[in-house]
């Protein structure tokens, strides 16, 4: 009886020291969250640069009374999600949510523009070999 009790105590203390599988995964999840946030900050800088490029050379089409001038832009606000996949090869996917706008302008220089339409966008990225990719 004492041997069984001693074995039970030994097993319980070993399990307590080792931590649960979920507890062990938290540090890796935290590193993935931090790296995803950094990756997305860089991604959004590229998106904003793309918006400036689009604004600098808008699409111009013939309209009924004047040219129809438009360009694609993106909202300033975004949100991210990190989800575990359960696969060791690519343990996480990251989701980026933002809004894409089509701006309508009164001049071909893309001045006096307003949002003509908006659409929500979700981009999905995978975390593999310690890097995020599209």
Whether residue 23 lies inside any domain: the answer is no
Whether residue 58 lies inside any domain: the answer is yes
Name the DSSP letter for residue 133. Answer: E
- Percentage, residues of the chain above pLDDT 90: 62
DSSP assignment of 4-73, as one string? HHHHHHHHHHHHHHH--HHHHHHHHHHHHHHHHHHHHHHHHHHHHHHHHHHHHS-EEE--SSS-EEEEEE
What is the rounded average pLDDT of the residues 4-28? 40
Whether residue 20 lies inside any domain: the answer is no
Pick from 27, 36, 42: nearest CA to 93: 36
Whether residue 80 lies inside any domain: the answer is yes
pLDDT digits (tens, 9 = 90+) for 93-133: 999 999 999 999 988 888 889 999 999 999 999 999 889 99
Overall number of domains in the chain = 1
CB of 80 within 8 A of CB of 94? yes
The two structure tokens encoding residue 87: 């696969």
Whether residue 2 lies inside any domain: the answer is no
Report CA dihedral (13, 15, 16, 21) to the nearest 10 degrees: 180
Whether residue 7 lies inside any domain: the answer is no
What is the rounded average pLDDT of the residues 77-82? 96
Residue 41 CB neighbours (<10 A): 11
pTM of the prediction? 0.73
Q: Would the CA dihedral through 17, 83, 88, 127 be positive or negative?
A: negative
pLDDT for residue 120: 97
What is the rounded average pLDDT of the residues 80-90? 94
The two structure tokens encoding residue 94: 């990251």
- Percentage, residues of the chain above pLDDT 70: 80
Write out the residue range of the structural domain in which residue 64 sits. Answer: 28-133
Whether residue 11 lies inside any domain: the answer is no
Average pLDDT value for the chain = 82
Whether residue 5 lies inside any domain: the answer is no
pLDDT at 23 over 80: no
pLDDT digits (tens, 9 = 90+) for 59-72: 999 988 888 999 99
């Amino acid at each position: 009886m004492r041997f069984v009790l001693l074995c039970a105590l030994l097993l319980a203390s070993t399990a307590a020291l080792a931590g649960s599988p979920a507890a062990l995964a938290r540090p890796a999840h935290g590193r993935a969250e931090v790296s995803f946030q950094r990756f997305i900050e860089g991604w959004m800088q590229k998106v904003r640069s793309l918006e400036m490029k689009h604004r600098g050379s808008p699409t111009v089409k013939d309209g009924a009374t004047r040219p129809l001038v438009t360009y694609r832009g993106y909202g300033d606000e975004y949100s991210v999600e990190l989800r575990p996949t359960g696969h060791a090869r690519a343990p996480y996917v990251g989701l980026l949510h933002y809004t894409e706008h089509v701006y309508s302008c009164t001049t071909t220089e893309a001045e006096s523009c307003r949002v003509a339409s908006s659409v929500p966008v979700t981009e999905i990225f995978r975390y593999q070999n310690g890097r995020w990719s599209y």
